[in-house]
Amino acid sequence: MKKEDMMAALEAISKSGITVKGDLVLEKKVDYEVANVENGGIGIQINNGKDVQFTVSDKDIKATLEALLKEKDDKDKLLFRNKKQWWAVYRVLSTFCQYPKQMNSFKTKITDMEIDYGGNPNVMTYDSLAAAPKDVPLMATCSPSTWDTLKDKSDNYKQQYAVAEFLMVKLGIKS
């Protein structure tokens, strides 16, 4: 598509009242990108007040979770250091990546991935997954994309936010 045609299309979209978030890229070289954009995905999001759904392969999610389990914070402590932080994983994946909304089904799907925990002892259990919202009740009522406003309430909030933020950035949900 010619640059002039692209600009005319963007002008028509902006006049239609549709809110478009994304980057206009006329030429792009991709070495590796999650969400299968290199395999023909579309790098544009249309958000009409709802959380946008992303198509991310289980392979990319597994790699991201394995990286999360090894990630260290600025104090050289594991970012993922509490079994209850699996709840943040559950919320991000079920909200944005079409993962099961029932905790039992979610746990089964993650277990079936055979994730390499890399020595991290915080293996998911249904009990820790189900108990976490009691520690962060305000997060249980809103989208993970808004958790940055709650992260300073307590250490529990901060731990859940850190995991959600890591996942959303690595999976391309948030830039």
Helix, strand, coil shares of the chain, percent, nearest 5, are 50, 5, 45
pLDDT score for 45: 41
Max Cα distance, the chain (Å) = 57
Is the separation of the CB atoms in 89 and 163 below 8 Å?
A: yes
Higher-confidence residue: 46 or 71? Answer: 71
pLDDT in tens, 113-163: 999 998 899 999 999 999 999 999 999 999 999 999 999 999 999 999 999
pLDDT score for 4: 76
Residue 42 has pLDDT above 50, yes or no: no
Say which amino acid occupies 35. A
Query: What percent of the chain lies above the pLDDT cut of 90?
Result: 63
Q: What's the gap between Cα 95 and its chain centre?
A: 8
Q: What's the distance, Cα to Cα, between the start and end of the chain in Å?
A: 27
- Alpha-carbon torsion 9, 51, 143, 80, what sign? negative
pLDDT score for 115: 94
Q: What is the DSSP secondary-structure string of 41-70?
A: ---EEE-SSSPPP----HHHHHHHHHHHHH
Q: Which residues are 45's β-sheet partners?
A: 21
Residue 47 has pLDDT above 70, yes or no: no
pLDDT in tens, 11-20: 776 676 666 5
